[in-house]
Each structure stands twice: as C-alpha cells, then as structure tokens.
Amino acid sequence: MMRWLSHRAVKPAVFVLCLLPLAWLVWAVVADRLGANPAEALIRSLGDWTLRALVLVLAVTPARVVLGLPALARWRRMLGLFVFFYASLHWLAYVWFDQGFDWAAVLADVPKRPFILVGTLAWLLLLALAATSFNRAIRAMGAARWQRLHRAVYAVAGLGILHFFWMRAAKNNFGEVAVYALLLSVLLGWRLWRRWRA
C-alpha cells in the first residue's frame, strides 16, 4: 500500500479526481441539468463540495496515523487548497448569481444575513491559510507560528457548519447538517483526544 501511495502518478490522479465535481457541474450547466433554479443549485452544490473537501482534508491526519500510512501527508496541502478553491467558487457564485457583481449590495448583504456573514468569515480564514500554504511562507513565519495559524482550519469547520445550519434553518431541513456536523466532530474530537493523551 505504501509503495502504491508513494508512486509519482498518484498525486496527479488525486488532483484530477478533485476536479471531477467541478467538471460535473460545468456539464450540468451546459446540459441544463440543474433544475428549475440552476443558479441556486450551483451555489449550493459548490458549498456542498466545499464541506466534503473540508471533511476529506481533516481526515488525512487520522487516516495517516490510524492506518500507518505516512504517504497520505503528501496530499494534505493540495486537498486544503481544493477546500479554498471550492469555497471561492461558492462565494463567487453567490456574488455573481445572487448579487450580480454589485459590490455595494454584497457589502450591505453580508452583515445583514448571519449565514452569509459566517460563510464570508470562513472564506477569509481559508484565504489566509491558502496564502500561507507554501514553503516560503512557512520559512518566513517559522514553523510554530505557521502551525498556530493553520489551526484556524478548526474555526473554519465550525463556521462552515454554522453557515450550513442557518442556510437550512429556513426550510427546517437539518439532515445533511447533522451528517457533516457528526463527521467534523469525530475528526476534531480525535485530535483533542490525541492531544489529551499526549
């Protein structure tokens, strides 16, 4: 398994797999498969894929430790950047389809609607993490400060769930929210348990 995961072709393959949701959404737009309200479907689908990518990146370390597969660490940075990528597309789709790139309307809307506010805060944290995800930034900041900053991913997880909860509250539909909350709670709880043991 380690030899297979360490093969140089695996990382590009994971990169392509991470782009498949976007390719499917582009196809769905072109083929008119997003239903009666394609703009809303696109915004929500991009948000769903952001949460899925976040769960995936937070699962890397537990999987690496529990399964004894250190090669998984090679994918963590790339997966983290895909979280930012899909979150950026999600936010851009809101600005485009919901607000028509009217930045005055966006600035008025963000503080007015709590779920937009917490989603924007989560995106800003992801922006800081993406901007400092490169080796030069790690050297400039120092490993300890860099690690402290990148623990903000836990805040991103909390804000993401809160954003999703408030968005679904209007329709009283919390099934998917509960699934993501449970997955992220398990992944973050594992980290707390491991730190407590140490």
Over residues 77-134, the pLDDT tens digits come to: 999 999 999 999 999 999 999 999 999 999 999 999 999 999 999 999 999 999 999 9
Nearest alpha-carbon partner for 155 in 194, 124, 183, 179: 124
The pLDDT of residue 1: 74
Amino acid at 30: V
Q: Which residue has the tokens 């990146």?
A: 57
Find, among 116, 53, 115, 119, the residue nearest to 84 by Cα.
Answer: 53
Average pLDDT, the chain: 93
What share of the chain in percent tops pLDDT 70?
100
Collect all residues with Cβ–Cβ distance below 8 Å to 70 and sequence separation of at least 6: 2, 64
| pLDDT over 90, % of the chain | 83
SS (H, E, C) the chain: CHHHHCCCCHHHHHHHHHHHHHHHHHHHHHCCCCCCCHHHHHHHHHHHHHHHHHHHHHHHHHHHHHHCCHHHHHHHHHHHHHHHHHHHHHHHHHHHHHCCCCHHHHHHHHHHCHHHHHHHHHHHHHHHHHHCCCHHHHHHHCHHHHHHHHCHHHHHHHHHHHHHHHHHHCCCCCHHHHHHHHHHHHHHHHHHHHHHHC
Dist. CA 148–CA 5, nearest whole Å: 29
The model's pTM is 0.94
pLDDT for 92 equals 97
Task: Name the residue type at position 52.
Answer: R
Diameter of the chain by CA atoms? Answer: 53
Place 177 in a pLDDT band, splitting at 50, 70 and 90.
Answer: very high
Enclosing domain of residue 68: 2-197
Q: Give the pLDDT confidence score for residue 149 in this predicted structure.
A: 94
Number of domains in the chain: 1
**pLDDT at residue 171 is higher than 80:** no
